[in-house]
Chain A
Amino acid sequence: MTLEPLPPRLARVAELVPKGASVLDVGCADGLLLRHLRDARGVDGRGIELDPALVAEALAHGLSVVQGDADTELAQFPTAAVDYAILSEALQAMRAPDRVLTELLRIGRRAIVAFPNFGHWRVRLDLLLTGRMPVTPDLPASWYATPNIHLCTIRDFEALVAERGWRVEARRFTRQNREVRWHPNLWADHALYVLAPGP
């Protein structure tokens, strides 16, 4: 069976999930990541997705996906139900990102969180030079139309993690899918964390 290649950002998430693990993918769209994890790594996956058409597609791929809003739906999942709860490119669209992260760490033994870094220099420069809300390849919509209502920088995210006492097990920062080591909050356009509940 040939696997559909994953876009780089999803591929980086997939690499973090060990063979045979169980996952919950929050905002799983048509289930591309779940399918890949199932077919390549024997992962037992479930998903949550808001768009009924995407849920129907995921179903047709043999996946188990519940249509619903992560902000409310997560509360219904049992504690420690899966090894990994994944939130990829959706943190900034949550009404209450901190509560969603708390739920992810209750449902999953670990959480994998990936998000665009609003501290990236181009975002900063854009705001500085134009005085208008930045519109970037990652954040293409105008301020009034964007689903991204809670954007954060890497430093913001680290501060929240420290404040809540979560443990960072791994972090990866990239710019155009290349590793960034120095001053990631300035140079990275994307961040990926593996979190665990305890300190």
Chain B
Amino acid sequence: MATDPTPRQLVVVGGGMVARRLVDALRSRDTDGRWAVTLLCEEPRAPYDRVALTSYFTGRDPEDLALGGQELWDDPLVTLRRGVAATAVDRTEQTVTTSDGRTLPYDSLVLATGSYAAVLPVPGKELRGAFVYRTIDDVADLRTYVEQLRTELGRPLRGAVVGGGLLGLEAAGALTALEVGTTVVEFASRLMPLQVDDGGGEALRRLIEALGVTVRTGTATSKIAGRLGRVSSMEFADGDRLDVDVVVFAVGVRPRDELARESGLAVGERGGVVVDDTCATADPAVWAVGEVACIGGRTLGLVAPGYTMAEIVADRLLGGEGTFPGADLSTKLKLLGVDVASFGDAFATEPGSLEVVISDPVAGVYKKLVMSDDARTLRGGILVGDASAYAALRPMVGRELGGDPAAYLLPEGAAPAPTADLPEDATVCSCNNVTAGAIRCSVTDRGCTDLTGVKACTRAGTSCGSCLPLVKRLVTTELEKSGVTVSNALCEHFELSRAQLFDVVRVQGLTTFSEIIARHGLGRGCDICKPVIGSVLASLGTGHILEGERATLQDTNDHVMANLQKDGSYSVVPRIPGGEITPEGLIVIGEVAKDFGLYTKITGGQRIDLFGARIEQLPRIWKRLVDAGFESGHAYGKSLRTVKSCVGSTWCRYGVQDSVGLAIALELRYRGLRSPHKIKLGVSGCARECAEARGKDVGVIATDNGWNVYVGGNGGFTPRHAQLLAEDLDTETLVRTIDRFLMYYVRTADRLQRTAVWVEDHEGGLEAIRAVVLEDSLGIGADLDEAMAGHVEGYEDEWAAALDDPEKLLRFGSFVNAPDQPDDTLAYVSERGQARPATESERSGGGVLIAGTTLEVRR
């Protein structure tokens, strides 16, 4: 535990994914604080997920690409310098000079500067409208250019991507997402020449052309021609030309090795800082990792080997002995929605290899396994169109497959899952270098009992996620082997999960807790299962939440239909649909607050919260509100809270649709809907998104043609942006889509699972949910519609109903033997003109207390 009083200085030059991994790995292992790290990050932002760059076009924000949490940058031993590049290295003095003019001493220096995007040396490459594809800024510039030019020209744009490799197809996906008519120009005779063979390339071409992208292979670009200083066409070596408005170069990358060159370190023939298999340069104080490192005579452009190098250097800095095991160049990608995977000896370069090929142009699938000459050992493979077998096959490279190799190429579901035989040392997660053995061990020896635990414990599946299906199967197999039934039990009283309970209650038509627990549970329930059953019964429209035995199931908030505060008083929130309220309504709320001495605050959901109400005051407060036309806002329930809106086209200069009108309609439709967790909606009247709808479980954003709907957003502890579910819907389709989404969520989510996690955990993710909601893939659409119609028809205001029922009002007595007597321990002081609970010292000090809510001026 002895902490080195003066940690040694590590300077990392570069702020990419590998640099982050290095810092992360070092900080998690260097428990004694032996190293202090400074990261020089030329881009103005912390390291982000460059691999997912294209998703920036499909609605994600730059922040969504952030890697991991902020904690790493809050570590006192880590200094992140954003927007600061290294300009020189003095190896004799062991210092780095930075672009902001400082000199940093180092004990060790790691070069993680990555690559430049290469630009083809053709005339016209500097014209406006010619881009590369490497950073968030490149991508943002491309988007801005395309959007502005389209507005200016008033016609659809045409674009070309030079380069048909991995990056080129990514860029083509980006252009397509921007609705630019796209041509991919590749010099080689096929697409992705480094990853797939001619058969795979041909399958890929067919799949991509089917998406409306034109593909020209075997074509050399000779010139970019311009008009008025911007790109207008391109010319090819064969004399052809193509009119284009935008060109993206994706012809590979060049290592950014100039710091090494200038400081006299050796660089490789084709660039890159020469390092040995420990990632060390000839200077023992200088290391290189990631794309800038020339290891084993070449540079590697994939993130997985970069991560391995980062781990090795972290290990070596702490005295370890790690060496680079050789790069696994396996890749699995989804490009333009097409699965492509390539692994092991994909091109059958080893002598005596056999190839097993399934090519189905109709289904758009090409699959090849490269086997040893006895057809037993897997050497590699290529999968195009359906890469579902990748996770199972890649760890088997170099091992006997067992059985007919062709069986592995059959469509998903038909293939056997070879996980049981997976050897201990087979790498399952190549991003984080986690073996099958480590995953099994996390279950057997380290007590992990679910996928989440295993991910946290081993980091398997936490980077690209492509191995998760395999990790999940391994975990399940191991748990079952050790006799653990994979439990999704709600609590000690119910073996069933919330979703299973929902189904049995719905199918069997059960309406009381006693029946449900007698048939499906044990004991008399608890604070976990009772509110769940209360919520399930409420979702199924079985009547008032306080009716008979159902009242015993409710948490105190639902039980008194108000929100418990820290001192035992409650807050009251009347519904203000869409945040629209009349002056008369505001006056009523103001008068009620004044008469009962309540503290008032505007909520984030565009309504007004009244605090400091005592339990016995609630019926009298609500009588006033209900008489004035207000109803319960369900702020206390796991249910619809609010539908937030901007002012929309009615008033706003920019609004394109009536967002307030829609928000009110949606709030009135879904009010009172009980759900696994609270649900919030938002409606914005234009793309400026003033209602922050993408921070909601369901967000609606107006377009010129209708509404875009986003799902799975939330604020809170783990903020999430909602993802696009469907575009340009008319209002009727929009409402049906939201109906189905919400009802499907209500039926199938776990207890307290918000929509974001539900979408993520749903088998097949958002795609599968989209299929259920929009294409009725499960055939339950009519059922969901009917359930929502039942909810809408059956809605009644809980507070109005309670006020009409003397039985229910009995629960609001402060004491069973003195129902109107206030709790005399409640004490308030005045702050900024309103009451707030007194602190402990104010109570004991005495004298500062005011009457607050104990003084009731009038009824």
B is a partner of A? no
Interface residues of A (CB under 8 A from B): none
Instruction: Write the residues of chain B forming the contact surface with A, with a CB cutoff of 8 angstroms.
Output: none
